[in-house]
Amino acid sequence: MKKFNHKGIEYRFSRYPETTNRSLRAWSATDEYILLKLEELAPKSKNIAIYNDRFGFLCCMLHNHQPFVIIERKSQQKSVEQNLALNNTGSQQGRYCSPLNVLPEKADIGIINIPKTMDLYRLYLDHVSRSLADDGVVFCAFMTKYFSPQMLSIAEEYFEDVDQSLARKKSRVLVLRKKKKVPGKKLTNSISFEFDDQHKEELKQYFGVFSGDNIDYATQFLIRHLEVTEGDQKILDLASGNGVIGRAVQLKNPSSDLHLADDSFLAIESSKLNLNTENTHFHWNDTLADLKSNSFDLVVSNPPFHFGYETNIEVSVNLFREVADVLKPDGRFICVANQHLNYKTHLDKLFQSVEVVSQTEKFILYKCQKTVAKVI
C-alpha cells in the first residue's frame, strides 16, 4: 500500500492483484497530470466518464462526482472496489459501464489513460464520442516515452480540436474538443485462421483483444500440438482471448463441456462470436474461484505475462495454482510459454510431472500431470 497526498488529504492505494515488486504503485504521473488538468480547464459538478483506470486511482480521487467507470477487466473492477473501500469513499456499484454500450447519461468530461493497444484506444474514443455532450471535453493521458503519432491521428478521427500539453513528470495530456459527427464504425477485426487441413474459419474479435489482427505465434504453436481425447469431457480454456484455442478444442471433441475464462470483457464477448455456444460456458473473471475443484479433465492456456507496458509473471503463477486446484487428480494442463519465462520452476512445485511436449527457439509447450497431490 502506498500513500498519496492531495490538497492536504491523505489517500491510500494498493494494487490488485498484489505484487511483490515494491517499486510499483497504483497510479502514475499521467493520473496526477489529469487531476491537474481537470482543476485548470474543467468546471466542477459535471458528469465524468473514466476509461482505463486500472487500479481505481482516478475513480477514488473523483468519487464526489460519482463518475461512470468503463470496465474492461474484472481485475480492474475488483481493484476499484478495493481502493474505494480503503479510502472509505463508498461503492461504485451502479456506475460501472460496458465499453460496448453507450452511457445511460451524457458525459461532460471523458478521461482516458491511453492504453498500449491503439485499437483499444480507438474503441474507447468511439465510445466516449457517442456518450459525450456536444460541448464536452476529453482528456487523454500518456507517458511521453510511449508516444505514437497514432494517438493524434486516431483522436482527429473523432474531434476537431486536438491539443497536446507540455510535458510534466514525463507525461502529457491530449485535450480533445468539438466532437465530430462520425458514422458508426466497425469495432471488430476479422482473422482468417487454418486450424488444420479441413478447417479454415473466419474469427472475429473486438478492438483491443490480444493479439490484434492475427493469431499470435505462441497460440498457433499450442494449437498445432494440441491433443484432445474422447475422455476429455470437461475442458477449460484459461486466458481464452478470442476463443481460438477453445474453438480448436471443439473441432477435436465436439461433445466436450467447454469453459472459457478471461479477465477481459472484450475477450469474452469476442469468444461468443466465434464458438458454438452449445455446451459452452463463459466466465468473465481474473480467477478460477467460481469453478469447482477437481472437476476438469484438461486445462489449456496461453497465459498472460504482459499487462499494458508491464511484464509480470506473478499473475500467471497464481493462475497455475488455481489450475492445480480445478484439475481432476488425473487431469492434464497444457501450457505454452516464451522460452525466456521461468515457468517450469513454478510448475514443478505444483504438479507431479512437467513434460516438455515440443519447443522452438522462441516457444515451449508443457504438459503438466496432476497424478498425486504435492504438499507446497
User: For residues 137 and 177, is the Cβ–Cβ distance under 8 A?
Assistant: yes
Domains along the sequence of the chain with CATH: 2-179 (3.40.50.150), 188-369 (3.40.50.150)
Residue 42 has pLDDT above 90, yes or no: no
pLDDT tens figures, 307-361: 788 878 899 999 999 999 999 999 999 999 999 998 999 999 999 999 999 999 9
The C-alpha atoms of residue 89 and residue 345 are separated, in whole angstroms, by: 42
CA angle 2, 78, 265 (to 5 degrees): 130
The model's pTM is: 0.95
pLDDT tens figures, 259-309: 999 999 999 999 999 998 899 999 999 999 999 999 999 999 999 887 788
User: For residues 290 and 283, is the Cβ–Cβ distance under 8 A?
Assistant: yes
Burial class (CB in 10 A: 0-12, 13-18, 19+), 102: exposed
**Contact partners, residue 2, CB within 8 Å, separation at least 6:** 12, 13, 14, 25, 26
Q: DSSP assignment, residue 167?
A: P
Give the pLDDT band of residue 15 (cuts 50, 70, 90): very high
